[in-house]
Structures are given as C-alpha cells and as structure tokens.
Amino acid sequence: MDKKLLLAIVLSVGTLFIYNYITKDKQKPREGVPQNIKSGQAYRAPSTKELNRPINTEIDFIDKKVKVNEQVKTFNTDYCEISFSNYGGVISSVEFKKHLGENSYPLKTILPKTFYEREQAAFLLALEEETPFFYDFINSKNFDDHTDVTYRAEAKNWIINKTYTIYKDSYKIDLKLKFNKKSDALAIRPRLFFPAPFIGEIENELQSGVVINLDGKSVKAVSARDLDLTWADPSIFGGQDKYFVHTLISDNANFVQRGFFRKVEDRLFPILEGPELNEESSFKLSFYVGPKLLEDLVAIDPRLEGLLDFGWLSWLCKILLKLLKYIYSLVGNYGLAIIIMTILLKIPFMPMTIKGNKKMKEYQKHMPALTRIRTKYKNDPQKLNAEIIRFHKERGLSPTAQLSGCLPYLIQMPILFALYRVLGNYLGLYQAPFFGWITDLSSKDPYYILPILMGVTMIIQQKMSPVNDSKTKAMMMFMPLVMMAIFINFPAGVVLYWLMNNVLLIGESYIGKKFLK
C-alpha cells in the first residue's frame, strides 16, 4: 500500500470517528417513574410503590406432573414453515425456506424446546401466578392471503384466547389476545415472552435488543450494557442477531406498558408487559419474524430499515447492495459478482487516479529544490513564502499537485466503508460459495489464503512505488502485516473485495509507468 492510500485511509477513519463522536446519542436513561417517561424512552425500573413495580422476568410453571401430551400443528407458506405447540399455545419452530444453512437445510431461528425448556418458547403468555401452560387447539382457518390459528386456555377464572395470523406473502405474524372474565375472577397482569433469533451454526453469533428511537421513525440496537434498562410502552421492541430479527412492530390497542429483556446464558428474551386487566379485553400485536433483508423489512415497516446497520452511508449501501444483487442475478455466483462490482466501481476513477499520480510524481522531481529553498530561508518566513510562490509560478506548478494523487482515494473511501457494511452483513452471502475452498463468503477464509494474497499484493504495490525516506519505507513494509492481521478474520467476501481492489491498483501503477511517462 503506497503513502497516498495510507494517508487516505487514516484521514477517512479519523473523519468517521469524529463524525460518530459528534452525532452519537449522549442521552442517559433517567431514573424516575413511568408517567414521567416519554413513550419509547429507556429508564431503570423503580423498586418502590405498586405503580412503579420492579420488572418481573420470571415465569411461574408447575413441573411436577405432565398430564397432557404435546400436540404440534404445522403450517406452510412460500416463505416459512411454522409449527405451534399446545404447551403454552406457542410457536415452537420457524424455518425459512428461502435461506439455507449448513448442509443446505433451511435456517431456523426458533427451535423446538424440551418440556423443561418451554419457558423459552415464542409468544408465551405469563401471569404473575398460575400461568397457563396447557392450551387447547381450537381451530385453524385458511384464507387467500393468511391463515388463522387459535388456542385457548383457562387460568385464575379467565379464559384466554390466542389467535395467530400467518401471512402467506411476508414475514409478518399477528397475535390477537382475548381475555374473557368469569364473575369471580381477580385482576391479572399478562406478560408476553419471545426469544431473539439464534441460529446456532453462525460463528461468534451475537444477539442484541431492538427498540424504537424517541423520534418514533427509526430503530436502534440495544447493547449488552443496556439490557437491564426498561422501556416505556415501545411500539417497536424485540431482538436480533446478524441476519434475522424478531420484533414487535404494531400495538394498536396499547397492550405493551413496558418492555425489558431477560438474559438466559447466551440467549436473549424480550418481554412485553401488559396492563392490569379487570374486565374483558382484546389486543392485537403485530410482529416481524424474518430476515434482515431490505425489501422484506421495508415491505412490512419502513422503520425497520435501520436494523441493517448501514449507518450514515445508508443511501450508498442501498445502491451497492442493489448493484451486487443485479450482478449476481446475471452470473449466479456472489464471488464473481464481488469481483465484477469491484471492477465496475474502480473503472470510473482510474483516469483520475493515473493522472493524479502523474502530477504528483512530476511535482516530486522539484522537491530537492524546494527543500533547499526552505532550508535557505527558514529564518525568514515572509521571504520563504515569496520564494516558494515564485518557484511554483516560474515552473507552472500547482501547490496542490502533491495531494492530487490522494484525491481519488479519498473519493473512493466512502465506497470502501459502504461495501464493508454491505458485504459483512448481507444474508445472501451466508453459505454462499465462491470456488474451491471458499464455501461461505460470510465467514473467514479457513486456510487464510485470501488474506495472504492480499498482503502480497500490497507488497507488490509498494515495490512499484518506492519510497526514499527510510522511516516511511519501514512503516510501509510493516503495513501489509498489519492489514493481514486485521483482515485475517474478516468475511471472505470483504477480503476478496480488498484483494481485487489491490490488483486493480497494481494495474493502475503499471499503466501509469508504461504509457504515461
């Protein structure tokens, strides 16, 4: 990597760091009572007074005797296969037909649980006491665009109906809750549990929370350090991993009073706390349970676009993602698509880069003379400035010529950052092969061949652009090792892009030396 590219990277990273520091949300969660908290705002659950009751993440089950056999009902759409269990009237399994994992099996984000793990099921409704576990399957009704599945249970003299609506053309699931009260029933306060997606086969898979921002127009991730917070009546609340998300997206009847998280070992469970019920009530909640793909997210709720973690370059990431998917539709291989996209993005900048390098090299020929002028007039700044201006004017030089070689790299740096976001988080690359040993472009090269080749191409670049200064030369020779160490665990798709970019840079240098002397 030559000095120009290194400088461009340093300047760009510095700019990105300053931007993130200035624009990051500095608001700290406030201590206080719920009625003083804005909708969607985080706070620490108070521990005094019933109104300010502490959060409850526990589920009351009696495990001594099992008198009911589990019955599983399975329904299919073009997108998913969804199974329901009478153990809690829950969704026990969701597999995604269009997204395959290891051994070409459909990915699952909700897996069947053993009897003693049933508290980890999806959309389990809990009460403070006597949580209903065994439900009766009532019926299923099939319509043109959706299927309704209804379960019923009784607890504390309340009859609870859970009706799921599975949409056939999207990843949206509705849950209708109906509470019918008997004459001597006491008040109840329901809570709804569901797991964040967890595939299991993804290396270093991490989960995080999903909440609505105070602006009500976007979402943000909840880091591990904030999982102990509570959110006031959020309209979006759930959990995500790298590729999938399970989240509330609509609550028209205001069921959710508070949202908080439960952590069980390495698993995350969002909890939606309902109101205290003293009379018959009905609620309808809508959820997105599916992949973090732009077209699927936006089709359900435009606010979910923020889950893609594209950051301030979101507009550019969308363009690059569309380009990548279009090229893939033509060649049928994401590795080839990345190579072709790299070439297409590089070609427009090649004339500018070659011309800038030529100007900079011409300017460098005059550096010894400029050094002598600076040495001669180092104690007379006014005379030094006049002499440097005269020197440039007599030879038709521009003082900015030495920076002209950096400009194309600086222009391309946003593309580099955007591609890193896209290639590092795009579900389409998961288990997508390139050729040979590269069988998954979303994970690291198992034999580290791509990072090594990337380092070799950087060394070749440096050989083609020799540096006279000994300190700079030593640093430049050390850079390939540093970059290899950084990229060694990067997704193969990202490393492939950088490797191809290096090859094109070598081509630029060769063309510049061969034809533009």
Q: Contact at 8 Å (CB) between 210 and 247?
A: yes
Distance CA(168)–CA(67), nearest Å, equals 35
The backbone torsions φ and ψ at residue 172, rounded to the nearest 5 degrees and listed phi first, read -90, 140
Type and span of the H or E element at 460 = helix 449-464
User: How many Cβ atoms sit within 10 Å of the Cβ of residue 440?
Assistant: 20
Token pair in block for residue 120: 């980890």
Tokens 């990273």, residue located: 13
Q: What is the DSSP string of 313-360?
A: GHHHHHHHHHHHHHHHHHHS-HHHHHHHHHHHHHGGGHHHHHHHHHHH
Residue 155 DSSP one-character state? E
- The pTM score is 0.81
Q: Residue 199 corresponds to which tokens in the numbers above?
A: 């595939």
Burial class (CB in 10 A: 0-12, 13-18, 19+), 237: buried
CA distance 372 to 386: 14
Write down the pLDDT at residue 166.
Answer: 97
**To 5 degrees, how large is the angle CA 369–CA 400–CA 386?**
50
Give, for all 517 residues of the chain, the pLDDT tens digit: 445 545 455 445 455 544 444 444 444 443 333 556 788 888 887 654 444 677 888 886 655 566 788 899 999 999 999 999 999 999 999 999 999 998 889 999 999 887 677 778 899 999 988 888 899 999 999 999 999 999 999 988 999 999 999 999 999 999 999 999 988 889 999 999 999 999 988 877 889 999 998 888 889 899 888 888 999 999 999 999 999 999 999 998 999 999 999 998 888 999 999 999 999 999 999 999 999 999 999 999 999 988 887 767 788 888 999 999 999 999 999 999 999 999 998 888 777 776 666 666 676 677 778 788 888 888 888 888 888 888 877 777 676 655 555 655 666 678 878 888 888 889 999 999 998 999 999 888 999 999 999 989 988 877 776 555 566 666 777 788 888 888 898 889 989 998 998 898 888 777 766 655 5
Least Cα distance to 259 among 491, 41, 11 occurs for 41
- DSSP labels, 355-408: HHHHHHHHHHTTHHHHHHHHHHTTT-HHHHHHHHHHHHHHHT--GGGGGTTTHH
C-alpha dihedral sign at 332, 338, 339, 344: positive
Beta strand pairing call for 230-232 and 90-100:
unpaired
Count of beta carbons in the 10 Å neighbourhood of residue 410: 17
Q: What is the 3-state secondary structure (H, E, C) of 16-64?
A: HHHHHHHHCCCCCCEECCHHHCCCCCEEECCCCCCCCCCCCCCCCCCCC
Burial 68-99 (b: 16+ CB within 10 A, else e): eeeeeeebebebbebbbbbbbbbbbbbbbeeb
74 touches 81 (CB < 8 A) = yes
Which DSSP letter does residue 282 get? E
Residue 198 C-alpha from the chain's centroid: 14
Q: Closest Cα to residue 363, out of 384, 390, 391?
A: 391
Residues forming beta bridges with residue 427, ordered by sequence position:
none
Angstrom distance (rounded) from CA 517 to CA 511: 9
Q: Where are the domains of the chain?
A: 3-17+315-515, 71-308
Unique residue bearing structure tokens 């427009």: 348
Q: Do residues 165 and 123 touch, judged by C-beta distance below 8 A?
A: no
Distance between CA atoms of 485 and 398, rounded to whole angstroms? 39
Total number of residues shown for the chain = 517
Write out the CATH class of domain 71-308.
Answer: mainly beta
| 126 Cβ contact partners less than 8 Å away, ≥ 6 residues apart | 59, 60, 190, 191, 192, 193
pLDDT at residue 225 in the model: 84
d(CA 512, CA 321): 32
Contact 92, 121 (CB under 8 A): yes
Nearest alpha carbon to residue 200 among 246, 241, 245, 239: 241
For the stretch 277-313, what's the b/e string if a residue is b when 16 or more beta carbons lie within 10 angstroms of its beta carbon? beeebebbbbbbbbbbbbebbeebbebbbbbbbbeeb
Tell me whether strands 281-291 and 244-251 are parallel, antiparallel or unpaired.
antiparallel
Strands 30-31 and 42-44, by their bridges, are parallel
